Amino acid sequence: MDRRGSRGEPPSELPTPCAHCPLLCPDSHMDARGYKWVRWRVWLCRVLALLTGGLLALLFYWRPRLGVLARGSPCPLAMADVLLIQDSGNKQHVVKVHTEEMEEGSWEMLGELDDNESRDTVQLYQQDQKTLLRYYILDGLRYVWLDRKESFVRVSILNEDWTCQDLHGFQKGLSPQEQIFRRRVYGSNLIDVPVKSYIQLLFEEVLNPFYIFQLASIILWMSDHYYYYAVCIIVISLISIGVSLYEIRKQSVTLHNMARLVVDVKIRKSSGEEQIVSSVDLVPGDCVLIPAEGLLLPCDAALLSGECLVNESMLTGESVPVLKTPLPAGDQRYNSETERRYTLFCGTQVIQGKGGGLEGSPAVAVVTSTGFFTAKGNLVSSILYPQDSDFRFNRDASKFLLFLGVIACMGTIYSILLFIKYNASLKDIFVRSLDIVTIVVPPALPAAITTATIYAQKRLKNLNVFCISPPRINISGKVSVFCFDKTGTLTEDGLDVWGIMEGNSVGFSELVPDPSLLHPGPMLSALACCHTLTLLHGNPVGDPLELKMVESTGWTLDEPLGNRHTTDSEFGGHRILAMMNPPSQKHTTALAIVRRFAFSSALQRMSVVTVTPGRQSVVAFLKGSPEMVASLCKEETVPAQFTTTLSKFSKDGLRVLALGYKPIALDMDLNTIQREEVEKDLHFLGLLMMKNLVKTETPGVINMLKLACLRTIMVTGDNILTAVNVAKNCGMIGSDERVIFVKASPHTPQSRPTLRYSLEDDGAAAQDNVEVITHGLYQSGYNYHLAINGKSFAALSDYFPEELPKVLMRTTVFARMAPNQKTQLVKELRKLKYRVGMCGDGANDCGALRAADVGISLSEAEASVASPFTSKIQNISCVPLLIREGRCSLVTSFSLFRYVAMYSLIQFCSVLILYTMRTNLADLQFLFFDLVLVTVLAIVMGKGGPSNALHTSRPPASLWSLPVLGSLLIHTLLIILGQTGVILFTRAQDWYVPLNGTTPGENNWPNIEDTSLFAVSGFQYIFMAVVVTKAHPHKKPLYHNGWFLILLVLFSGLMIWLVMYPLPFVRVLLSLYNVEDMSFKFVLVGFSALNFFTCLLMEMLIDLGLLNSLRLLRGRRQSKKPYKRLDSQLSESSSWPPLNQTLLPSHNIVRLLS
């Protein structure tokens, strides 16, 4: 039988796929199972849904997986109608497989895409001479069936193997047939955020389990004649639903408008014709023409000719425009992340475009990604479909609801037995027993604990810290390590030129403090020309470092205007990107920049090619990290003192760059010259030192975090010695603490991987001194910090994985880190169960900011999709501010959770006691407690702000901890004692008349038992709000929450009035018994006060550690968090780190290498 059933597709030489097959995704592994609808099962489920009154359909709506299992049968993925998918986060999805009919001949067109064995083709299914494409959409991303992979994969895999040379080949444009076919395969170029109608939103909201529970409760209350209460809950629910629908739709419309981008663009066809089309119709491979006035990019594209000045603030939060240069042709695989300087990203604004050809010609780019596969689409997808945060508080809240459900079941069983004993009717048994469930499981619990987050978000916004992911606020309260970018975050954005040192084979010259004092020559020309600055409205814009560098030379930037041919002819007929004019007093000629190779974080360098008038000479200039520049220069031109000089300046905290130059043959074709040819065999020119001052706020914030026992880490792309110096200046590394450099080398054909821990060279590294220091380290005589650079970090990760966690535990400075390494670092720290915070300017930190538990982007924008938090405060003072708010919000969430839980338990106890005496609380009594007392108090409880200082301890996140569960248990017992004591005291009165045991429920109102419990439980609702409200050390004292205090006094006075002197109509309204014994009333108030002080005293003793003594019974246990266990092991180690020893990889790694 054919492996695809009855579809009759062409057979394959590959093995038959099973129903359980991995999805080969570029960034995650998902597990998929295929199912095919079985007609008789589908109809059976429809009939059962009707017979159950829609309950089966509701169950399938809540649990789609059950619906698929009930109506379908397992089948190979190739013939599935629906898929069950489990992603890497164990989240399950149900997706429908779509089929689309393709035009005849599409199969042959696909063959054109498959040039070699490494490329895949889409398997199109031919059924009855029809060609079908099979795909599904998940989280906005399209997945298509690949025959060779035997699975569904992201459609972007079809263009992931494109090389830079391939992209240059698309400059001729696509044919109309190719465009139509690719549009069918890739889908429309649209980041479409659906905006649902109010009817659809209402349907989804009402079918939420919370509202289904509310609806069932209302029906139950109506049947029990609780009309007032039921009507009030209906009104409140309708208002809640209305507000929720308005907010959801408002947010959807806002995100829809932000994400949706439809503009007209000009493309080039294969015939050479230029055509204006809608951006919705763009497909990967389309050749787009960028006009001089700019364009709002509707896709990701690689720039192939010309230059573009781009504002990327929407994506990165970085407001400085970036100059994009043409992508060099080559056989290397194109990657938008590694080739960022040549990539125009969707959603960014091209401010200015310059053509690469004749005057007036536009810049040319080729579309590489569309829709949700673009950089903007990826960010929008992360907002629409956020990953579930593995936060213990959220997990425990769900478990605690189940725990309350168990208590409700116990109460229900007790009620059933009680009413059977009283020979109650079946209706009374049913209604009363289910009423217990509505009391114990509070439907308002999830909403109540979010109020703390809402208040915190509002306070943060007032302090210019904006949040697009409110659940992260509570998580920020548990942050245990915070990573910081250096430049622009810990230090000032701007750099000032500190000095220049020219160098050659003889050595370095004297330090020149001002570049304008340099004599005309290659060094001055390199400083003036080696940049990517451009003019915008007559003003130079670009990297602040390059602006300072060029400004210090006194040279001016000019760009060709008017007759381009005339200008070009003056410089040998080359297309001029920019001209650098020397000051009039300098006896030197202008230089024209004709080629630029933009700076790359991975390459750590940039270069330009310049031409003098008349093309008398052609010179290339290089600027970059000193180590990289020195490695590209001829060895004989690099001063022998290079390493020591660089070390000296770096230790002084200076930002050091090196420059080099290279004469180029006059007959060389500068239009086709490759970067590799330009950037080799250069002559070393010297060093440029720039001073990057630490921001005035930085040391104080770092000290505050350290005093709060929060670990701080620096992650930078700068030199490791400079980074260590800045770490010392800002207080990350103390003056009495040692720095140990971690140096790891990768495997090469000539050598094996090695790892070495070396003390910093401070002139005192004699062997005997090293031995003393080593002994001191192992005996905790010295505090030490590790420092590592990007190359060593990569080698450590690849060849010494067993050492990586130890290094992560003790490293404070990560230098020369590429953007992807910053992201990797954050992920590795999270693997150790750290709660990781990251603070950066958003430019090179986007990946790390999004990977962290809490990411803060320092940006002028009010909200950036670069990270969950955006701060307009342009320094790291926003970090302790956010942590304090997070801790306050988490503590408040705990208090609210405990209060709502205690409210349920108080009412649960009251009702069960009254059930025992064949009565219950009156309808308006329930209403008074639930809506007047509890709801209002719960709303204002969260208004208390954070304390002004960071405490050394972090608030707990577990609801299942001994103090939380112990306090709830103790308070519940005290509540039961209080209520039982009041009933016993009431029955002991001389004037007490027992209830009529033959008359149930409301026929017994008013009665003294109900009135007594109303009095004491009313006070319990009020004072329990005080007992569970925590302040010190993470919140301001209770008296700072003015509204809460006013309501406590007001409600206490109201309850005293209702107990002591209720007006007749109020007494009738609330069904209260008329008690004339004033001494009895005073005892009720006093009894409640005693109950309050007893609960308050027990809470204070629990806070002081009363229950911690019980932990001694189970013995001391190791922490479940890997970083705490590892920290304990390293603190007790007498041999780590092994100083000045060369380590080799483990045997397993060696076997892999061999």
- Name the residues annotated as catalytic: 485
- Which tokens hold the place of 1001? 């429920």
Q: For the chain, what percentages of helix, strand and coil (3-state, to nearest 5) are there?
A: 45, 20, 35
Distance CA 18, CA 75 (A): 8
∠ CA 636-642-648, nearest 5°, is 175
DSSP string, 810-832: HEEEEES--HHHHHHHHHHHHHT
Q: What is the DSSP letter of 786?
A: E
Which phi and psi (to 5°) does residue 154 adopt? Answer: -60, 140
Instruction: Please return the burial class of 855, using the count of CB atoms within 10 Å of its CB with bins 0-12, 13-18 and 19+.
Output: buried
Which phi and psi (to 5°) does residue 19 adopt? Answer: -70, -15
Whether the CA torsion 188, 193, 196, 201 is positive or negative: it is positive
Instruction: Please return the burial class of 1081, using the count of CB atoms within 10 Å of its CB with bins 0-12, 13-18 and 19+.
Output: middle
User: Tokens 């954070």 appear where?
Assistant: 946
Distance CA 465, CA 203 (A): 35
The answer to whether 829 and 481 have CB atoms below 8 angstroms apart is: yes
Distance CA 180, CA 1030 (A): 64
- Which tokens hold the place of 371? 């829709």
Long-range contacts formed by 1061-1068: CB under 8 A, 24+ apart = 1067/1006
Q: Is 746 helix (H, G, I), strand (E, B) or coil?
A: coil
User: Tokens 């603490």 appear where?
Assistant: 737
Helix (H) or strand (E) holding 1009: helix 1008-1028
- Helices (DSSP H) in 320-444: which residue ranges? 375-384, 392-421, 426-440
∠ CA 594-595-596, nearest 5°, is 130
Distance CA 54, CA 557 (A): 74
Helix (H) or strand (E) holding 793: helix 790-799
Buried-exposed string 704-719: b where 16+ CB fall within 10 A, e elsewhere? bbeebebbbbbbbbbb
- Which tokens hold the place of 677? 């040819």
- Taking CA atoms, 976 is separated from 1011, 1012, 1073, 1080, 1107, in Å, by 16, 14, 22, 20, 21
∠ CA 692-697-698, nearest 5°, is 60
